Chains A and B, each alone.
Chain A
Amino acid sequence: MAARVGIPSSLFYYVHFPMWQTFFSELGVEVVTSGQTTKGLLDQGVREALADACVPIKLFFGHVISLKDSADYLFIPRIVCLNRKTIYCPKFLGLPDMIRHGLTGMPPIIDVQMDSRQGFASLWKSYLKIGRIFGLGKGRIFMAYLKAYMVARRFQSLMRSGLHPPEAMAVLSGKENIADPVDYNGDLTFAVLGYPYEVHDQFISVGLVKKLKKMGIRVITIENLSPRKISRANILDKNMFWTFSDLALNAAYYLFKEGGVDGIIHLTAFGCGPDSMVDKFMEISSRDYPEIPFMSVTIDEHTGDAGISTRLEAFVDMVKRRKEVKNNSCPR
């Protein structure tokens, strides 16, 4: 029987899952995921994880626990740096350690370190190490890596064309476009900035993106923007250390400067360390661009559906009204 590798559907899932899935299935290893977030998963995570951790980490604990019996290995790579510049949040760097020492009775963890700063082809070497765990030859691992790499490229280009990660994943796996049919009548475009594991997790974001779409609003997320373009928009004399935060903040700077959106919503998790700074930088910057309304929404394990809906509706109404007033007041 093929070995089963469990990949928690949280954190890096929204960025790397298509690549990892291809890699493992090319190696003849079965991939098990923990599926969509549910109330039960979250509760389990909250019970096991440290109270002071942020929601995404608690949720990750929940996802990992649910894979306990269905997987022979847990795939929690220690992703340090992928672009040779920025690293990831300390909690990500210590993720395998937190799981190993914080939970008991877990299957063995594959915690290969991925750090592109360690010289030429260091990522390939990491994947080689993963392949070796299953006792496979170099040639086969290389083919799998190559194929996975191509899938990752395609995944990126799908998202660049305007799809969100869950939709792009569906397209990759051959399903029909699951994007909800929306009539973009109001010609409003919002940017929802935040980390992929918050924005695209239906449960933890209380369906924020979906709600906006239902109101007839086009939603842009960080994945839809070109990383190269937005990294040029940085106005600080130092980059954010953390990849996701760097992207989110630069995306905000880019959108503020370039326009093209009618509003920016920053989605952040309660107790998120990097976001405490990112959000303040965004807020200070937003004062220089009064024509683009800015709102930040904080989520935690208790976030209620009604509360978020009310805030969103109010924000959307305000933006709509502003736009109408602006269009009427200066007829040309």
Chain B
Amino acid sequence: MPKVTFPRMGESYRAFRMLMNDLGNEVIIPPRPNKKTLDFGVRYSPEFACLPLKILTGTYVETCMSGAELIITSGGSGPCRAGLYGQLHKKILNSIGFPVDIIVFEAPKSHPIDFLRKVKRVNSSRLSYLAIWECVKRGWEKLKYLDDLEKTTHALRPRELKKGSTTKVYREVLEWIDGAYAMKEIHEAGKEALNTLKLVPHDTRRAVLRVGIVGEIYVLLEPASNLEIEETLGNLGVEVHRSMFLTGWTRDNTVKETSGILSVKEAAMPYIPLCIGGHGRESVGHTILYARDGFDGVIQMAPFTCIPEIVARTILTRVSREHNIPVLTFFLDEQTGKAGMSTRLEAFVDLIRRKKNAPVSDNRIIVG
């Protein structure tokens, strides 16, 4: 059985592990990014590469050390750098002495034949396409439940009666989903997990601030790379609404675009009329939508030197002024410390709380 691994993005590895096992591969689970991962990443990646690339390099080095032979990742058509990660990682890993191969899945809508060929390569137990489709469906179902669970924690955390109880229950119920295998089991475990999570004692009438989070997909989805910003904000009494989830993103990028993403594009139209790669346009569009929906503030998360987000950041200053919504930007790199981030977040939350409670006439803009 070939030993395969893949990038880690939040809790999604639980679904991918099941899928890869079903296809007859041994899975080396990518470890949660930590200090060691970053050290490896910084050592072997180019200096100005963005944080996701460095974290992934580190993750790959760690998994290669535990014997991974094949890395499966996604590609892209640019102009964001992420579309070339696979090629660069292969060169880097080979040059430091790991003879791994990398399979880069490109979007099936533009490269259908290439896609099928690659599916065949990871299909070690020679399943039929129909059987593969069944496996993918189960993995997809799992992913959806994982995303739903995470979404629920965002709403619960600021309202919980005992600090930390949501996170504790969340960790517990994740394992239930992990254990489910058949479609029926997944549905049962998922529903049970959601119900249990909602039973966490909380105060539904508590007035909380609502903050939207926009930015680059990897730093949004991997809590270890954004220093658990959602948890930090939740503990500060802020309900977080994240603009991106893996299932949502995949729906937008594999077959056809959903109505959700179309309205984002429309909202961003006066500011950025065409796709500038990555999630630059989405960051601007979501910020406008959040402003319309009456959110109290927006936080932009971007890796240092991320090109699309730099363009978005330049434009967000104007958006913030015109739509009267406070925006705080974090450019994350390997030096970002949790204490510094918490301080900035606390200050930001204090400011938007004051803005919310202030009389309407005192409606000054906060940009951080």
Contacts and interface: CB of A to CB of B under 8 A. Distances in A.
B306 A273 contact: yes
A238 B80 CA distance: 14
B318 interface: yes
B228 to A, nearest CB: 23
Interface stretch (B14-22, B43-51, B158-166): B43-51
Interface string A83-104: 0000111110110011001100
Contacts of A275: 48
Interface in B266-305: 271-278, 280, 304-305
A91 B310 contact: yes
Contacts of A280: 45-46, 49, 88, 91-92
A177 to B, nearest CB: 37
Nearest to A98: B314
Contacts of B310: 50, 52-53, 57, 91
Contact of A102 (B95, B306, B317): B317
Contacts of A287: 95
Given A90-B277, A90-B280, A276-B48, A242 B78 contact: yes
Interface residues of A, number: 39
B84 interface: yes
A97 B315 contact: yes
A97 B45 CA distance: 31
Interface in A50-90: 50, 52-54, 57, 78, 80, 87-90
A279 interface: yes
A241 B81 CA distance: 8
A102 B315 CA distance: 6
B83 interface: yes
A98 B271 CA distance: 9
Nearest to A283: B46
A281 B272 contact: no
Contacts of B78: 87, 241-242
Residue among B48, B304, B331 with max Cβ neighbours from chain A (10 Å)? B48
A131 B18 CA distance: 59
B87 A237 contact: yes
A273 B77 contact: no
Given A241-B78, A273-B48, A50 B318 contact: no
B70 interface: no
A89 B304 CA distance: 16
A93 B79 contact: yes
A133 interface: no
B91 A89 contact: no
B280 A277 contact: no
A90 B305 contact: no
B314 A102 contact: yes
A270 interface: yes
Contact of B274 (A93, A101, A242): A93
B92 A50 contact: no
Interface string A126-145: 00000000000000000000
A1 interface: no
A271 B47 CA distance: 9
B157 to A, nearest CB: 30
Contact of B311 (A91, A236, A241): A91
Contacts of A148: none
Contacts of B79: 87-90, 93, 241-242
B313 interface: yes
Contacts of B88: 277, 280-281
A80 to B, nearest CB: 7
Contacts of A54: 305
B307 interface: yes
A256 to B, nearest CB: 14
B48 A241 contact: no
Contacts of B95: 284, 287
Contact of B81 (A52, A94, A273, A284): A273
B7 interface: no
B237 interface: no
B215 interface: no
A307 to B, nearest CB: 17
A178 B234 CA distance: 65
B46 A52 contact: no
Residue among B77, B80, B272 with max Cβ neighbours from chain A (10 Å)? B272
A97 B272 contact: yes
B308 interface: yes
A277 B81 contact: yes
Nearest to B91: A284
B274 A98 contact: no
A46 interface: no
Contacts of B331: 52
A260 to B, nearest CB: 24
Nearest to B95: A284
Contacts of A271: 48, 305
Contact of A101 (B47, B276, B278, B318): B318
A107 interface: no
16 contacts: A53-B310, A90-B80, A90-B277, A90-B280, A90-B311, A91-B311, A93-B274, A93-B275, A93-B277, A101-B314, A101-B318, A273-B307, A276-B46, A277-B49, A280-B46, A280-B91
Given A280-B45, A280-B91, 20 more contacts: A49-B314, A52-B304, A52-B310, A90-B80, A91-B307, A91-B310, A93-B276, A94-B308, A97-B273, A97-B314, A101-B314, A102-B314, A238-B84, A238-B87, A241-B277, A270-B48, A273-B50, A273-B305, A280-B92, A281-B88
Interface of B: 45-50, 75, 77-81, 83-84, 87-88, 91-92, 95, 271-278, 280, 304-308, 310-311, 313-315, 317-319, 331
Enumerate the 4 nearest inter-chain pairs by beta-carbon distance, A residue then B residue, closest first.
A241-B78, A94-B311, A276-B48, A101-B318
Interface of A: 49-50, 52-54, 57, 78, 80, 87-91, 93-94, 97-98, 101-102, 113, 236-238, 240-242, 270-277, 279-281, 284, 287
